[in-house]
Amino acid sequence: MIPTITAFESSPDRGRGLARDMRVRWALEEVGQPYDVRLVSFAAMKAPAHLARHPFGQIPTYEDGELVLFESGGIILHLAERHAGLLPADPDARARAVSWMFAALNTVEPPIVELGMAGILERDKPWYEARRPMLEAHVRTRLDQLSARLGDAEWLDGAFSAADLLMVTVLRRLGASGLLPAYPSLGAYIARGEARPAYQRAFAAQLAVFEASQAT
């Protein structure tokens, strides 16, 4: 059975691979699992058929036979548990990698999303210029801590894992923020992730969706 994921029919990121289907595509490519994609419009995401798959009416979702999952982290943990290549076999190393997966999603991603959302939704508001330095400071705090921990290492904890896959996709969202150049080790970490053949295949697949949407 080939699993099906959902992705934006027309992604607001214009093919930059910033929507959360990208991380699921990347994980599927890493483990060598072929997949189908159901593209959904914003209206379809809020319609009953999709809400039955995703209670919050979002992408990505994952369907494999009777199993229906939502939440990119949950989907990737499921893939990592059922296929080799995304989590270490050693139980302690595996537990540490899962902790890093949660850290990427619960500790590093929230201030990055808050900064990004303020730039989209509050840019024309009178408080935006006053608020932005505080939002940037929250992101810098996490980047300082993350780069200190990563040091000269290639990946977060030993071999590449689902934790790196998530952390790289989270950090990529800072591309337009201007904050990353101060952290060359994190820039190199992102580049190492982006250089992986599985990442390249996933990126090309989501870009092809955007390009097709422009051609019609």
Strand order in the sheet with 61-64: 36-40, 4-8, 61-64, 67-70
Smaller CB separation from ligand GTB, 99 or 154: 99
Smaller CB separation from ligand GTB, 185 or 194: 194
Please compute, for residue 170, the number of CA atoms within 13 A of its CA located in the half-sphere on the CB side: 28
Smaller CB separation from ligand GTB, 12 or 133: 12
Type of residue numbered 33: Q
Name the residue whose CB lies closest to ligand GTB. 58
Smallest distance from ligand GTB to CB 149, Å: 23
Smaller CB separation from ligand GTB, 17 or 155: 17
Smallest distance from ligand GTB to CB 153, Å: 25
Smaller CB separation from ligand GTB, 53 or 142: 53
Smaller CB separation from ligand GTB, 58 or 161: 58
Smallest distance from ligand GTB to CB 136, Å: 18
Smallest distance from ligand GTB to CB 45, Å: 6
Smallest distance from ligand GTB to CB 59, Å: 4
Q: Which residues of 200-212 are buried (b: 16+ CB within 10 A; e: fewer)?
A: eebbebbbebbee
Tally of residues, the chain: 216
Integer Cα distance of 94 and 92 in angstroms: 5
Does residue 97 contact residue 166 with C-beta atoms inside 8 Å? no
Going by C-alpha positions, the residue among 117, 100, 169, 110 that lies closest to residue 141 is 110
Smallest distance from ligand GTB to CB 126, Å: 25
Going by C-alpha positions, the residue among 54, 50, 60, 52 that lies closest to residue 27 is 60
Contacts with ligand GTB, residue ranges (CB under 6 A): 12-13, 18-20, 45, 57-60, 71-73
